[in-house]
Every structure is written in structure tokens, then in C-alpha cells.
Homo-oligomer: A and B are copies of this chain.
């Protein structure tokens, strides 16, 4: 099955306060199969951490900071892509996921606490992962795990400098 290509757009990031959560959003995006993350703020620390992980653990996940979110969303739509905004107030993921799986390219917008009202109108879909408050990190991860039917979770990155050899006790890495 051909799955959509997903890129995460992180908005509302405040460098002093959100560095760890945004880094976790990026790591979850990579681990569950997104192609990259665009960060609508300048934050060299987040970019470095994520690029270091890609270098050591493999894959071609990309990260870019300093983008303008309005422009990003506009460009994405002009190029025929679909914009999905994660919000606890949106439609249930379980009701929309099949339809979304049929799209070619998804820009997945993950906001911090305050999201400008405009985003709700610009998005093609406002989607809720559980209709309960939780976290952008779990929102992105569960969205991708469901969208990709669980197929990306156990993906391997042959040739990566660091690889885990799953085991029941202790830590084993390869090579």
C-alpha cells in the first residue's frame, strides 16, 4: 500500500520554553514515519539535536527551522497537498483516518498551547486524537501510527551507525 508522505509543521514554539517538547515532537515524527519537520521559529538547538539523531540512527528525516507557517501552509495547498491540523476540538481521527490515508502528501500541523484561530480555517482537516487533552508528542505519534497502519514503527535503518538489537534484558546495539 502506498501511504501518504507526511511532513510535520511545528507552530507556536517558544525557544526558552518549548525546546524539549518540540524536540520530542520531532523525534516522534521521525520514529513513526514522517519525512521531516518544519519549525516555525528559529531554534538551532532543536535542529542540531534532531540532525544528530538522524546521523547516528539513520534515515533521511529532514528538519528546517525559521519557516513562516502561513507561507508553508499556502505553498503546501498550492502544490496539491493536504493540510491536517491536530487539535483536541477536531473530528475524531478514527472517523477520518481512512480518507486521509488516500491523500498523497500531508502537512501535519502540531501547535503548542496557543494556536492562532486562523489555523483552523486554513487547514483542510482539523483532527482530534482522542478528544481529550494530552500532548503534541502523543498526538503526532498516534496519528502517524494509525495513518500508517502500524507499519512504520518497526522500520529498520540498515547501515545506520547505531542500531538496536532488541532484547529482553540490558542494552544491545549493533554493529
Q: Within the complex, what minimum Cβ distance (angstroms) separates A34 from chain B?
A: 11
- Whole-angstrom distance from the CB of A16 to the nearest CB of chain B? 12
Q: A24-B134, A135-B28 are contacts. A120–B169 as well, Cβ < 8 Å?
A: yes
A131 touches which of B137, B141, B154 (Cβ 8 Å): B154
Q: Which of A36-44, A66-74, A87-95, A101-109 contacts B (4 or more CB under 8 A)?
A: A87-95
Q: Are B24 and A57 in contact (CB under 8 A)?
A: no
Q: How many copies does the complex hold?
A: 2
Tell me if B133 and A57 are in contact (CB < 8 A): yes
What are 6 residue pairs bridging A and B, where the CB atoms are less than 8 Å apart in the complex?
A21-B21, A27-B134, A32-B134, A87-B171, A120-B170, A135-B137
Given contacts A27-B134, A32-B142, A53-B133, 20 further A-B contacts (CB under 8 A): A21-B24, A27-B138, A28-B137, A30-B134, A32-B138, A89-B164, A89-B166, A89-B171, A89-B172, A92-B166, A120-B170, A125-B168, A126-B167, A131-B164, A131-B166, A134-B141, A138-B140, A138-B142, A142-B153, A145-B145
